[in-house]
Amino acid sequence: MPEYCFFKKGDHVNVLEKNDASGAACLREWGYAKQSEELNAPNTHCALARFHHIHNEERSSKYAFSSEAAFLALIVGLIAVMDWLFL
C-alpha cells in the first residue's frame, strides 16, 4: 500500500502520495500546510476518510475530557457547599 501525506488550507484537505515532491511543492506554493500525519492506505479516498476519522476522534475526545472535568468540578463544589451548610 502506498503512503500518503496530507496538506491543509482552511477546511480543504489534499492527499498526495509521499513521494510526489512536485505536487507537494505546488501545494505549498498555493498556501497549503503539510500535516504531520502520514498514512498507508489502498487509495486516496481511503486515506482521506481515515484522516478525517482521526481528526474527528481527537475533537470528540478533547470535548469529552473538558466536559468531564467541568462536571467533576461542579460535583466537588456542591459537596463542599453541602458540607459547609450541614456542619
Domain boundaries, the chain: 3-86
Give the model's pLDDT for residue 20. Answer: 92
Q: What is the pTM of this model?
A: 0.64
CA-angle at 14, arms to 61 and 20, nearest 5°: 120
Q: What is the largest CA-CA distance in the chain?
A: 73
Write down the pLDDT at residue 66. 58
pLDDT by residue, tens only, the chain of 87 residues:
889 999 999 989 999 999 999 999 999 999 999 998 899 999 999 999 999 898 887 666 555 555 666 777 778 888 888 888 887
